[in-house]
Amino acid sequence: MALVKGKIGELTDRDTGKPERNCEQLAAALESADAGGRRHAARAIGSCPGAAAVLVARLKSEQDLAVREAILHTLLRLRDPSVASGLAAYLRSEDAALRNEVIETMKRLGAEVAPVLRLLLSDPDPDVRIFAVNILDSERYPEVESRLIEVIEHDPHVNVCATAVDLLCEAGTEAARDPLVRLKARFPTEAYIQFAADLALKRIREI
Amino acid sequence: MTAASSSQEPGPCITTEDFLKFREFFYRRTGISFEPSKRYFVDKRLVERIEATRTGNFRAYFTLLRFQASGEEIEQLTNLMTVNETYFLREEYQFKCLVESILPEIVRRRTSSTPIRIWCIPSSSGEEPYSVAMYLLETWSGIREWDVEILSSDIDTGILRRAKSGRYSARSVQYVPPRWLAKYFKSVGDEYQLSDDLRQAVEFTRVNLAEPGDTLDYRNFDVIFCRNLLIYFDDRSRQTAAETFYEALNPGGYVCLGHSESMSRISSLFEVRKFPEAIVYRKRLEAK
Amino acid sequence: MKRILIVDDAATVRMFHRGILESAGYAVEEALNGIEALEKALEAADAPFDLYLVDVNMPRLDGYGFLKELRRQEIPQQPAIMVSTEAAAGDEMSAYQAGANGYLVKPVQPAKLLTHVRLMLGEATR
């Protein structure tokens, strides 16, 4: 045997997702027993009306990692305003892996996530507020610093503030200086808060 | 730490805090961590990019890096911060891993005798796929029983042409064992011409890995080499690439990334597997 | 010198824990999520870390996922302390079930961290 010139394979129907499949069939395929089929459906269904809602709903029961990724990837592409609030519901999920994937996806949503984040940042559950602060850590979101400052000025929970200070170590400017000093005064016995706030202040010093 | 540009103004200054901020950012993106001893190396390149982008100072440059939608500057900077040479048998330990660990396992699980398929992307000027071919012929006993198909792809048609031509500099072949060099190359002036047999053993195609439509046909691969490419991609393109590899691989198929690269910055779709020679990534056996 | 792997996606937290542990004479390495941590643990198999300090919420592979994968590997198994923002008792049990030996709630005070680390390493806790 030997080295044989490689070939690109022939497309199978499943690979192309059968272009003639209609939206109803795709929605059904999304529930099929075959993970590969669900994955392809998750990608193809993007152009169907109401795709966002169907995909968001499917996340609830989808256990296969690759299918979840395909669903989230399609949702990202859709730029549908309902995606942000639809995904936000999963921040309360018991499934830590799903929560983290949703956080990563929401980080990439861009400006349309802002109104949803506002709500999440005042959620009664401190863990949800922590996730919301995490989502603020986005490269495309220049108002991040104002939101982070609001958190360290007003949030009662030490871990929510801790998450915000961590982000200010990279994103902080002069505007954060006084709020950081006040935060230190608010949690004088919390070693991590003192450490992180000092670091953030140090990093602001040079302009 | 000032770089002198004109006689009137000092160049942009990189403070220790700037360096640390940048180091964290770069480590998060690429997994590459700069030791304090690399200050000069890093500062010099940051200053170069600050001047090239006319941002004036580190703060403004860092903002550009973090907010630029196109990711162009991150790519430029990453290029500058990493070593990019290509040559035959680069990161040879992975070829050793292929022959001594990966292929034996794949072969053991095979129930049919369809060819073993290997995809090398990017092909660049061809050193990598041709290295795989040579390595298999010279060190893998299984080559006597199994057909192997090698595909190699790149986004740049110019470089694909170069790869197909099989003409290389002395520098490019410097690590090829003399016996292999004599067997597979012919010297032409101060360059080396790869034999027709080996040139014909690799199929070269044009592919943009960040474009999902380009790779629908790429299926049933056993091993993918994708070394020192994804490090330059933004998050979204990295994810697209990872999904593409997942679709392209058979269950139990392997991905080999570059020496300093890791799936930790790319995707959770693959299992981490450690072989004596290397850490590689596998699509789950139960996957479809 | 004993070596500890700190696993957390927040750079500032890693720095904070590093400072505490290095001052107490430990050598420290870092990983920013479970996949990187798994790779480092596997690479170190011949000279394993003495302890893992593992955050729960991390992208790509979280603390639970990392521990479960780690405990499946055929490498020397070392103690792990999970560090969580959740204080509910149920989460502590999940941590042990995933393969943790210790459990701490953030924010961690330096003295408490050191006591628990020493406990895990079988050292005197004073």
pLDDT means per 10 residues, chain C with 126 residues, are: 97 97 98 98 96 95 95 95 81 92 95 96 85
Structure tokens at B16: 């220790």
What pLDDT score was predicted for residue B236? 84
Which of B33, B53, B81 is a domain's end point?
Answer: B81
CB pair distance less than 8 Å for C16 and A162: no
What pLDDT score was predicted for residue C89? 64
What value of ipTM does the predicted structure carry? 0.94
Statement to judge: residues B123 and B48 lie in one domain:
no
Statement to judge: residues B175 and B63 lie in one domain:
no
Considering just the CA atoms, what is the radius of gyration of chain B in Å?
A: 21
Q: How far is CA C81 from CA A70, A192, B265, C54, C90, in A?
A: 33, 18, 24, 6, 16
- Mean pLDDT, chain B, whole residue set: 92
Statement to judge: residues B68 and B102 lie in one domain:
no
> pLDDT: is A19 or B207 the higher one?
B207
Statement to judge: residues B61 and B134 lie in one domain:
no
Query: Left if phi > 0, otherwise alpha if psi is -120 to 50, otherwise beta: which for B199?
Result: alpha
Statement to judge: residues B183 and B40 lie in one domain:
no
What pLDDT score was predicted for residue B70? 81
Residues of C in contact with A195 (CB under 8 A): 12, 15-16, 19
Statement to judge: residues B73 and B189 lie in one domain:
no
Question: Does residue B287 fall inside a structural domain?
Answer: no
A/C interface, count of CB pairs below 8 Å: 58
Question: Does residue B99 fall inside a structural domain?
Answer: yes
Q: Can you give the CATH number for the domain in which B113 is found? A: 3.40.50.150
Answer whether residue B7 shows pLDDT above 70. no
What pLDDT score was predicted for residue A17? 47
Question: Does residue B119 fall inside a structural domain?
Answer: yes
Statement to judge: residues B74 and B7 lie in one domain:
yes
C104 in A contact zone (CB under 8 Å): no
CB pair distance less than 8 Å for C62 and A96: yes
C75 Cα to chain A: minimum distance (Å): 25
CB pair distance less than 8 Å for C39 and B267: no
CB pair distance less than 8 Å for C60 and A166: no
What pLDDT score was predicted for residue A13? 47
Answer whether residue B74 shows pLDDT above 80. yes
CA closest to B134 among chain A residues: A3
A93 in C contact zone (CB under 8 Å): no
Which of B81, B101, B126 is a domain's end point?
Answer: B81
CB pair distance less than 8 Å for A192 and C13: yes
Statement to judge: residues B39 and B157 lie in one domain:
no
CA closest to C111 among chain A residues: A191
Please write the tens of the pLDDT for every residue from A61-99: 999 999 999 999 999 988 788 999 999 999 999 888 899
* Total tally of structural domains belonging to chain B: 2
**Domain at C3-120: CATH code:** 3.40.50.2300
Question: Does residue B59 fall inside a structural domain?
Answer: yes
Statement to judge: residues B273 and B154 lie in one domain:
yes
Q: Give the contacts of A180 (CB within 8 A, at least 6 positions apart).
A: A152, A165, A168, A172, A197, A200, A201, A204
**How many C-beta neighbours within 10 Å does residue B5 have?**
12
Which of B15, B47, B81 is a domain's end point?
Answer: B81
Q: Can you give the CATH number for the domain in which B63 is found? A: 1.10.155.10
For residue B27, what are the domain limits?
2-81
Residues of C in contact with B263 (CB under 8 A): 35, 60
Answer whether residue B18 shows pLDDT above 90. yes
What pLDDT score was predicted for residue A196? 97
Question: Does residue B87 fall inside a structural domain?
Answer: no
Which residues 67-106 on chain C approach chain B with CB closer than 8 angstroms? 69, 73
- C81: helix, coil or strand? strand
Across the interface, of A127, A169, A190, the residue whose CB is closest to C86 is A127
CB pair distance less than 8 Å for C35 and B272: yes
Statement to judge: residues B150 and B43 lie in one domain:
no
Q: Where are the domains of chain C?
A: 3-120
Residues of C in contact with B268 (CB under 8 A): 35, 60-61
